[in-house]
Amino acid sequence: MIQTSFSLLSAILMISAPPPPSEDESFKMAVADGYFVASGTLVPNSKEHIKAARRNDQNIKILVMQNVPGSDDDNDYLDAAWGLHQDGFTTIVPSDGLVASGGTDFFLAGTFRIIQPGACIGVHSWEDDGPPPYAANQLSRDHAEHGDFLEFFTAIGIATEFYWFTINAAPASGMHWMSPAEINRFKMSSIPLAEDDEETDAERQARCDNRAIES
């Protein structure tokens, strides 16, 4: 497994730049050098797009998540992510990449996961418009609306404590960019990150906020 992981890392470092995003910023999977490269927001029709992309390149089982900042439909992206997990996908966030919110959940569906140093991994609470509007962390832990997320994380082998962490890390209007120590705590990367990073929480927040704005 270690040899495989280093081979994957070496290959990813040589991957060509992903195609520029289209004017439509919804989720897209494009093939680049034998990998899928993903960018854009997960939307209700993303599941069908993913199926079509995979149908055309059935032998590819590596997904490089370059910039997936979130989702517009929780249940739909969870179903699509579960499909990747069942088929044994490797998911990767490169050093200049970003995943956040539903994009982070989607990344975690990989059966082997690589987060490269410098990657931005964002989490926050979800909220419902109501009426009246409410946030996830305003609901009791046994509330039914947590169920889909808890079942998903259990099914893919991620501790459910990660979910409770995310909904308390930042409000829906903000974003918490995870530290290497937090990433390792929840075993998000199959290859643990070095925790001797001199970057402060404030520096990481500013760097990843800027990346999110520029992407």
Contact 63, 35 (CB under 8 A): yes
Domains of the chain: 2-124+176-214 (3.90.226)
Distance, C-alpha 127 to centroid of its chain:
19
Instruction: Say what the pLDDT of residue 196 is.
Output: 78
What is 85-117 written as a DSSP string? HHTT-EEEE-TT-EEETHHHHHHHT-SEEEE-T
Instruction: Say what the pLDDT of residue 2 is.
Output: 39
Per-residue pLDDT of the chain (215 residues; tens, 9 = 90+): 434 444 555 555 444 444 434 435 899 999 998 899 999 999 988 989 999 999 999 999 999 999 999 998 767 789 999 999 999 999 999 999 999 999 999 999 999 999 999 999 999 999 998 899 999 999 999 999 999 999 999 999 999 999 999 999 999 999 999 999 999 999 999 999 999 778 999 999 999 999 999 97
Instruction: Say what the pLDDT of residue 75 is.
Output: 72
Write out the H or E segment, with its range, that includes residue 36: strand 35-39
